[in-house]
Every structure is written in structure tokens, then in C-alpha cells.
Amino acid sequence: MNKAIKSFPLLVVGLLVLSVLFISGFTSKKTNIIQNVYKVYLDGEEVGVINSKEEFESYIDKQQSLLKTKFGVKNVYSPKGLDIRECKTYEGSTDSINVVYNKIKKLKPFTVKGFKVKIKTEEKQTEINVLDKKIFEEAMERAIETFVDKDEYKLYLDNEQPEIKETGELIENVELEEDITIKEDYISVDEEIFQNSDDLTKYLLFGTTEKQATYIVQPGDTITSVSDKNKLNPAEFLIANPEFTSEDNLLFQGQEVVIGLINPLFHLVVEKHIVEDTVKNYTTQIEYDNDMLVGEQYDKQKGENGLDRITKKIKYVNGEMVTVVTTNTLELKPVINAVVVKGGKVVPSIGDTSSWYWPTIQGYTISSRFGWRWGRQHDGVDISGTGHGSPIFASNNGVVSKVGYGHYSMGNYVEINHNNGYYTVYMHMSSIKVKQGQIVARGQTIGGMGNTGRSTGTHLHFSIWTGVPYQGGTVHDPLPYLMK
């Protein structure tokens, strides 16, 4: 009995020693096993540990069936900023793929493979996302064709433009002012991604994806009248509504047309070589006979128009003529000016409203007419092509009411009060040869054609007003007056 009791503590101690040895050996075996795992980081922050990178990426792809349907793609990828790094560890616990996936889903959007297009100017950079770069190429080509005739453009690209024999025109150059780069990338699904060229074409032309304002055609409407009602130039209307090819196209009652103002994300430069026969309008010279009373007159010589063959280099930016350079003029038929003899002992300071003098020399081009342009009214005509410094004439007798450098948009200008309710304004002049208060005669040189103020090239901006210009007066289209 005593012997058994004495041996019991020894048995317990032995069993404890064996247990410690067993446990020690088991633990040592577990911690000595090194396993490969993957740590998942999002924007540098750890979000979990997984066993397989491939299984995780495959799981992401399988879970995004809605995104695949929305974008019409086969695969959806990890968010930007996701980094999966392989590492070795003794630890045996990892996170389930589902847990890590749900964490990421709450923090950041997933991505699809596509292309990032960057349109860069000196002032700004525009980024466009597309699923396929062909979408951008098709949209860009269609946007270009709104500013240059499709058939002419194709002949230019194919180097098949017919040679000019007598008259005609050739495209010499077509280019974009902007730098455009296209790069394949993973695009977050919360960004705007263009999936077709129709939507992208509109975005390139209007600078927005918002629906453009529309107008329902009323009885008697024409493209010209609809444009004027909505502060558009007919050329802008045609760009916004490419289904029409000319401002002479007919509209029908109830038809819906777009009247949004274009705001292109690019500047398309088209340079043309043009040879055309231009009618050289005769002018009417007035002679004064001091033996005749004021108000008496007779025709001394009938006028006949001439004809010039003019060669020009014209530059357009987004369909708008910005520079005209005349390189050659061939006279085909000389002009014969009309001569009218009027009575008067002095040059009257009152203009004759029955006859207005053309304010430039011949060989001109009307580069912009009176009317709406880019959402603002163009309050006169722009006359180009006669050369920098070429003379500008007073269109009628009167008194110089203003002279100098006006508002930044006017440049050097002259305003003449014709003392019969009418005023004329001459802008962008290179030089001024008259003074305020001076009486000027019809056809008298008052300065030279220039490019001062807000001007895209050498030209004269000429306008006719009743009442004081820009101070409550009413502006009129000058051409009907000049063509009398």
C-alpha cells in the first residue's frame, strides 16, 4: 500500500514529460511548414490574404455578369490600385475569396479593358474612354466630314483630286491642331465609356453628352429662318443636323431638328487652293458740276461689270473661313465705271442714300456675311482678299464722328455720320487717314485694311446703321445698300 502510493508521483511525472514532448513535437512540425499566400492591397492598404491569385481574379470575373452585359465585354478586371503580392508565411489562416471580394467591391469600382484617348491643346486636355479604338476613329472621321465635303475629302485622302484646268479648287492640307494619343488601358466602370461612334460623334461636336435642344418645324419654316430664330448660322444648323446637305433643303411641318450650339473638342484646319472667275462690279463715280444746282444730275457714262480670274489660298478652321490670301489676279474683262454728274458747289456732308460706294478695291471675297454666327449676331460683312494695307473708302459723304482704337474686338476703326440718319463703321484697320470732325467724300480713302482687334486674318468688318452705332441704333445688312 505504501509502496504503491510512493510510485504514483513518479508515474504522473512521467506522463507529463511524455505529454510535453508530444505537444512540443507536434507544434514544431506545424510551424516549420512554409506556405505561399497572396496579400491583397488596394491603394497601398492591405485588405486580405488569399491562397490563389488566379482563383481570385477568376472569381471577380464571374461575379460581374451585369457589367459584362452592360458593356458587351467578355471579361471584367480588378479595380485600379489593386496589387496582389505573393509572400511566404508560417501562418496557416487566410481569408475567403468572397470576403476579400466584397471588401474591394465596397471600396472601388472594377475595370474593363479599353482605350484612353487624349485630345491635348496648349490650354486644356480632354480624355475620352472607348471600348475599341475603331469607335473613336469612326467618330472622328464623321466629325471631320461635317466640316469638309465627304467626297472631296476622300479624293484628297486617295490623292485623286482632279487637276485645275481653268477654274476649280483643291484641298491642299487637312490637319487637326490638337495632339491626339490613343492608349490601351483598364478603365473604371464608373467613368463614362463610349460604346458606339454615334454618341461619340455628338460629343466631339457639341462638347457634351447632354441631349441637345430641338425645334419643331412650323408652316413656312426654312433652314435659314429656323437658324435665325434660334441664333444660329445656317452653316451651324447643317453641322448640327448632318442629314441636310444644303440650306436650300426643304423642311416639313412637325419635323424635329437640333438647334444646339456646336462646341467642337477639336480644331480642324482645311487649306484650299481655289481658282475662280469673279465678277468685278463697277462702281459709280460722282462728278460735281458747280454750274448745276444741288439735286440735279445726269448719267455721263454707263457702267459695265468686269471679270477677273482670281487664285486664292483660303484657310478654314472648323468650317469657318479665317484667312484669305490672293496669289494671282488675271483680268478677263475690264470694268467700266459709271459716271454720274451731280450739281453742287461744295462737297456735301450729307450722304446720298440712293448710292453707296463699295468700301474696298476689287478682287475682294466676302468671308462672312451679316447674320447669326456662333450664337451671336454678326452685325456686318467681312470683306477679305484685297491685301494688308489696301485702301478702305468712305461709303458715302459724311462727317467722321469717331476714330481710334475701340473696344478690343474692333481694333482701329472709323465711324462716319452721314447726317441723314445713317452711320457706317469700318473695323480692324491697319491705318487711319482721317480725323474726328473731318468731312469726307464718297469714295475717299479713310485708311488701310488690317488685322487689328479680335480678328483671325486681314479683312474689313463693315456695317451700316440707322441711329448711333452700339448706342441704341439699328444695324442693317450692308449688301442690299451696296448693290443698289
For 372-381, write each residue's pLDDT tens digit.
Answer: 887 888 999 9
Q: Model pTM?
A: 0.77
Find, among 278, 265, 370, 267, the residue nearest to 324 by Cα: 278
Residues written for the chain: 484
State how far the alpha carbon of 362 is from the alpha carbons of 189, 366, 368, 387, 394, in Å.
Answer: 61, 11, 17, 11, 15
Q: Specify the 3-state DSSP secondary structure of 136.
A: helix
Q: Beta strand pairing status for 193-194 and 214-216?
A: unpaired
d(CA 72, CA 334): 68
Q: Is 351 exposed, middle or buried (0-12, 13-18, 19+ CB in 10 A)?
A: buried
State how far the alpha carbon of 393 is from the alpha carbons of 21, 119, 172, 303, 410, in Å.
Answer: 116, 45, 34, 19, 18
State how far the alpha carbon of 484 is from the alpha carbons of 1, 222, 384, 441, 479, in Å.
Answer: 148, 26, 21, 18, 9
| Contact partners, residue 400, CB within 8 Å, separation at least 6 | 414, 415, 416, 417, 434, 435, 436, 437, 438, 440, 446
d(CA 48, CA 96): 9
E strand residue ranges, 80-145 = 82-89, 111-120, 125-130
| Contact partners, residue 23, CB within 8 Å, separation at least 6 | none
Confirm if 460 and 424 have CB atoms less than 8 A apart. no
Confirm if 429 and 416 have CB atoms less than 8 A apart. no
Find, among 403, 402, 359, 357, the residue nearest to 381 by Cα: 359
Which residues in the chain show pLDDT less than 50?
Answer: 1-31
Say how many Å lie between the first and final Cα of the chain, rounded: 148
Find, among 407, 386, 391, the residue nearest to 458 by Cα: 386
For 226-259, write each residue's pLDDT tens digit.
Answer: 999 999 888 889 888 888 988 999 999 999 999 9
Q: Is 5 exposed, middle or buried (0-12, 13-18, 19+ CB in 10 A)?
A: exposed
Residue 14 has a pLDDT of 47
DSSP-H helix ranges across 133-186 = 133-144, 150-157
Confirm if 78 and 68 have CB atoms less than 8 A apart. no
Bridge partners for 117 per DSSP: 128, 182
Domains of the chain with CATH codes: 35-108 (no CATH), 111-150+177-208 (no CATH), 209-262 (3.10.350.10), 268-482 (2.70.70.10)
Residue 291 has a pLDDT of 83
Confirm if 110 and 59 have CB atoms less than 8 A apart. no
Find, among 363, 358, 359, 357, the residue nearest to 324 by Cα: 363
d(CA 320, CA 455): 13
